[in-house]
């Protein structure tokens, strides 16, 4: 299915693309549907998505068990209107004309689902706020 190119696009970036950026992308996809193009990537992607993150998202009714960490590319950044970084520091490429947000969130790596739940809740809150700011289209 080809969708119009005027949809705003958001890229979520963290180091491993196994936790925070996966949760953020899943929430935005879940809440915005086809209204927003969503990408996530990591500067040093892990082999798999954090199992505690998969479990926490399942509790929220969102299945991310099939997701795989992806490597951050220059093309992904260039193709995005908004780039939201989550602890990737200087490894995220910066391009003029892009809107950058840096969300300081605890890293769920190595944490159990109990530690992931408050991170998930904060990400969902920020995504809902972001949705209020993103225009319906760029047209």
92 is known as an active-site residue: yes
28 is known as an active-site residue: no
Tokens representing 95? 């391009």
Residue tagged active-site, from 92, 105, 116, 134:
92
6 is known as an active-site residue: no
Residue tagged active-site, from 11, 13, 14, 26:
14
State the Cα–Cα distance between residues 133 and 129, nearest whole angstrom: 7
State the Cα–Cα distance between residues 35 and 45, nearest whole angstrom: 27
Residue tagged active-site, from 23, 26, 77, 88:
88
State the Cα–Cα distance between residues 20 and 49, nearest whole angstrom: 10
Active site residues: 14, 88, 92
């Amino acid at each position: 299915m080809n969708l119009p190119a005027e949809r705003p696009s958001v890229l979520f970036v963290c180091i491993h693309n196994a936790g925070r950026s996966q949760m953020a992308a899943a929430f935005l996809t879940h809440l915005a549907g086809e209204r927003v193009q969503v990408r996530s990537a990591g500067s040093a992607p892990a082999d798999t998505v954090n199992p505690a993150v998969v479990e926490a998202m399942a509790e929220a009714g969102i299945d991310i068990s099939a997701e795989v960490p992806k490597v951050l590319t220059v093309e992904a950044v260039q193709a995005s209107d908004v780039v939201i970084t989550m602890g990737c520091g200087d490894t995220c490429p910066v391009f003029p004309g892009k809107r950058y947000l840096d969300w300081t969130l605890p890293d769920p790596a190595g944490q159990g689902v109990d530690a992931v739940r408050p991170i998930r809740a904060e990400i969902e809150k920020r995504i809902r706020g972001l949705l209020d700011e993103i225009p319906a289209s760029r047209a």
